[in-house]
Structure 1
Amino acid sequence: MPTIDRIDAFADELTAIRRDLHAHPEIGFEEVRTSGIVAEKLAQWGVEVHRGLGGTGVVGVLRGKGSGTRRIGLRADMDALPMEENTNLKWRSTIPGRFHGCGHDGHTTILLGTARYLAETRNFDGTVHFIFQPAEEGLGGARAMIKDGLFEKFPCDEIYGLHNAPDLNHGELAVLPGPAMAGADFFDITINGYGAHGAMPERSKDPVVIAMTLGQALQTIVSRNVSPNEPAVLSITQIHAGSAYNVIPGEAKLAGTVRAFSDDVRALIRERMRSVCAGVAAAFAVEISVDIRDIFSVLVNQEEHCKVVADVARTVVEPSKVITRSKPKMGSEDFADMLHAVPGAYFWLGHDGSVPVHNPGYTLDDKILPIGASVFSRIVETRLPATS
């Protein structure tokens, strides 16, 4: 099954763009250079450019042939991660503590390739909105764009997004109707105890011991309060306390994340977390403050649009490589908020390499760039067919 010849013809240029973005990563809401390159490329290809939505977001508007009024949104995220890269690539990150360890440089490049092809051919009847989003990695970039009037200024009848997937084989594409990625909360818990000498614990209200007790108690929420039929995760990922061997500190902090596919389950977990913290605080005669923040909505794909993705994908990759019964992922994605506003679908595109995303040794396979751009382009040409 073929990728689009015209896209294949400039695949090397896409690779060069992707590697340049990779070498100059920018984290959420700091994508000044990246958004500048995106805007420059879009304008060069004759796409109408709008900047500043959600801070560093960019939207390109392209109208096809005819007078069709339907509008499709295509979205890519642009931000990198605040972590070090541990690869020997010639185009590795040049910025300490910044790394495109999730492949958003690839997503941005795929959407740029789509924009170039559609701008050169305009073989569709309607309007395409190319949405380049900042700050996907837990900072609320999608919500920021929506708050700035994304869908009022650039209405969409349907919307699509993708993510690279090193856990799939090269050329495999997976799409799942219904809840496909978990909603997520982040939490911070602060235990205000009473410090003392490490040799005199009876004079303290030891927040370290309380933190260990609380950590164990919180794990019972999923195992004993959430139905076994409802997937859920509560992970404590940070513990901070103390600064010396012989000092019992006065404060300890716990932080982490909650994941679930049901908003009712998420509400239950929040309620139980607050209750458990209050109970432990009463038991140890200390104050415990709890801050739980809704970061990602549950990502829900529409069945109609999943079928669109699957049917189109079978014209680009081998039909046997299109997976429509994939399992939901406990990871989260803020494209979910766009899907709450506009119906559509989010899918995964496999590539060579077994190192997972968010690992310092992760690498993106540039061979997926023309595949992703071809799928996006054919979605537009299929859903907005040009009239003869």
Structure 2
Amino acid sequence: MLNDDVYAHIADLEKTHEEMTAIRQHLHAHPELSHEEEETARFVADKLRSWGYEVTTGIGGHGVVGRLREGSGTKSLALRADMDALPIQEETGLPYASKTVGKAHSCGHDGHTTVLLAAAEYLARTRRFSGTLNLIFQPAEEASGNSGAQRMIADGLFQRFPADAVFGLHNHPGLAEGHFMIRPGPMMAASDTATITILGKGGHASRPHLAIDPIVAACSLVVSLQTVVSRSIDPTQTAVVTVGAIHGGDAANVIPETAMIRLSIRSFDAGIRNLLEERIRTLAFSVAEGHGAEAIVDYVRGTPVVSNSEAEAEFIKTIASELVGPEKVGVCPLIPGSEDFAYMLEKLPGAFIRLGNGIESAGLHNPKYNFSDANIPVGAALWSRLAERFLIDS
């Protein structure tokens, strides 16, 4: 039988709630964009050092790792939080709103960082674990194609700080505070992009028969792309193909030489991901050819699927259920958004969990969004208890 008294509870983390709320609001007021998190990283590193952690900075840019060893346990654990903000003008009107024009913590990374700092302080003070604890504070989660997770891994993150498993957390607007969601296997989508350039033949708008109109071809392609998911993907599976931009020409009386469309492509399965690329390329080439034009496709594979390993997803679900009760731990729906924690899950077993930010919370990446400070002790207790349960003498 589990001796519940020897593991962290939410009440244990409430003792530093006021201090940690001040930290979260400080970070919120001083946002830094991807690859610019110099002051945030320095702030985090100073806090970790003050609590007795061995701190390494400059990993993959502004990445910080705090390591704490205790006892004779041989297992090692990695917990990750992201630190970067977004290029958004905040509209919350809060007294601690962003002090930097055009930059805001509109995704809650200030909260994620604070939750892990709160757990770091508690675990350093109580030291009720046996093994090696690695706390990863990652920059540039929002940087597509050159993300902080990719850069930290390329900089030897898991060779320098080996771990048996890695866990991450993200807040979830629309879910009640103090509630969690988790699922084994795929949970958040792979995110790819494509830029398709249609090469035609420019001419006078009054003489279209002497030109090859790339705008007409591009518009036809936009319509054809709507069939990729509806007619090529198993209806029991999930995928998204969205045309987010279309550009061509500058004047009403000129048929341009080129037109361009940009796509966002989301999927939850490697086979479907490959099929989507194949169908998009085929349609681009064939539709362009049908109009006498030519297509150039620049297809970029982005963030992979966030896929939770079975054992680790069940483990963190158990920890969350012990803290808040099983009735407050639900099955996470498939989320078409992406998250670069996926790169870490490709290297290690682990899991990513969602923590409710409130039913009435503004959505992520919204200028009115704000992380709920009520979540700090909840998330911190999750990390603390997970570390205590994972890192044992073995």
Given the two structures, how large is their TM-score scaled by the length of structure 2? 0.93
| Structure-1 separation of matches of 2:252 and 2:377 | 56
- CA–CA distance in structure 2, aligned partners of residues 362 and 241 of structure 1: 35
Aligned twin of 1:242: 249
Asked whether the 8 Å contact 1:124–1:381 carries over to 2, the reply is yes
For 1:382 and 1:195, the matched residues in 2 are separated by 67
2:45 maps to which residue? 39
Q: Does 2:190 match 1:183?
A: yes
What displacement does 1:196 show? Answer: 3.3
Counterpart residue identity of residue 134, structure 1 = P
| Alpha-carbon distance, 1:379 to partner | 0.1
Give the direction of change, closer, same or farther, for the CA distance of 1:384–1:89 in structure 2 (3 Å limit). same
2:339 pairs with 1:329? no
Cα distance change of structure 1 residues 21 and 202 upon mapping to structure 2, 3 Å threshold? farther
| More deviation, 195-204/108-117 | 195-204
Q: Using the TM superposition, give the Cα deviation of residue 307 of structure 1 relative to its aligned residue in structure 2, in angstroms.
A: 1.9
* Matched residue, 1:130: 135
Q: State the percentage of identical aligned residues.
A: 46
Asked whether 1:264 is paired with 2:255, we answer: no
Q: Distance in 1 between matches of 2:125 and 2:387?
A: 14
CA contact (8 A) 1:140 1:295 kept: no
Contact 2:66 2:136 in 1 (8 A): yes
Instruction: Provide the rounded CA distance (Å) in 2 between the counterparts of 1:361 and 1:89.
Output: 10
Q: Which position in structure 2 is the counterpart of 1:48?
A: 54
Residues 1:192 and 2:215 aligned together: no
Select the residue among 375, 386, 394 that pairs with 1:379.
386
User: 1:14-25 to 2 correspondence within 5 Å?
Assistant: 14-25=20-31
Q: Which amino acid aligns with 1:35?
A: A
Partners of 1:252 and 1:173 in 2: CA distance: 45
Task: Give the secondary structure class of the aligned counterpart of 2:389.
Answer: helix
Moved more, 300-309 or 241-250: 241-250
Residues 92-151 of structure 1 show CA distances to partners (whole Å, capped at 9, x for unaligned) of 222222221111111111111111111111110001110111111224221111111111
Query: What is the one-letter code of the residue matched to 1:127?
Result: T
Please state how far the C-alpha of 1:224 moved relative to its aligned partner: 1.2
> CA 1:375/1:245 → structure 2, altered by over 3 Å: closer, same or farther?
same
In the alignment, residue 117 of structure 2 is paired with which amino acid?
A: L
User: In the aligned structure 1, how far is the partner of 2:123 from the partner of 2:51?
Assistant: 10
Matched position secondary structure for 2:217? helix
Is the CA contact (8 Å cut-off) linking 1:312 and 1:378 kept in structure 2? yes
Q: What letter matches 1:383 in structure 2?
A: F
CA distance in 1, matches of 2:193, 2:156: 26
Letter of the 1:88 counterpart: G
Could you tell me whether the CA contact under 8 Å between 2:73 and 2:392 is conserved in 1? no
Q: Which residue of 1 aligns with 2:108?
A: 103
Provide Cα deviations, 1:160-180, integer angstroms capped at 9, x if missing partner. Answer: 100001121111111101111
Change (3 A) 1:203 1:87: farther
> Residues 188-227 of structure 1: matches in 2 within 5 Å?
188-227=195-234
Distance in 2, matches of 1:253 and 1:23, equals 39
Structure 1 Cα separation of the partners of residues 133 and 187 of structure 2 = 25
Matched residue, 2:171 = 164
Residues in 1 aligned to 2:150 and 2:141: alpha-carbon distance in whole angstroms = 10
2:114 pairs with 1:116: no
Contact 1:3 1:317 (C-alpha < 8 Å) held by counterparts:
no
Aligned 8 A contact 1:123 1:385 in 2: no
**Secondary structure of residue in 2 paired with 1:38:** helix
For each residue in 1:231-262, what CA deviation from the matched residue of structure 2 results, as whole angstroms up to 9, or x when unmatched?
Answer: 11111112223333443333222112111111
> What SS class does the counterpart of residue 226 from structure 2 fall into?
helix
Cα distance in 2 for residues equivalent to 1:351 and 1:182? 21
CA 384–235 in structure 1, closer or farther in 2 if over 3 Å, else same: same
CA RMSD of aligned residues (A): 1.8
Counterpart for residue 295 of structure 1:
302
Q: Deviations over 1:58-77 (max 9, x none)?
A: 1111112x111100000011
Q: What is the alpha-carbon distance in structure 2 between the residues aligned to residue 246 and residue 18 of structure 1? A: 55
Q: Is the 8 A contact 1:123 1:386 kept in 2?
A: no
Q: Unmatched 5+ residue regions in structure 1? A: none
CA shift, 1:281, in A, is 2.2
Distance, in Å, in 1 between the alignment partners of 2:250 and 2:17 is: 53
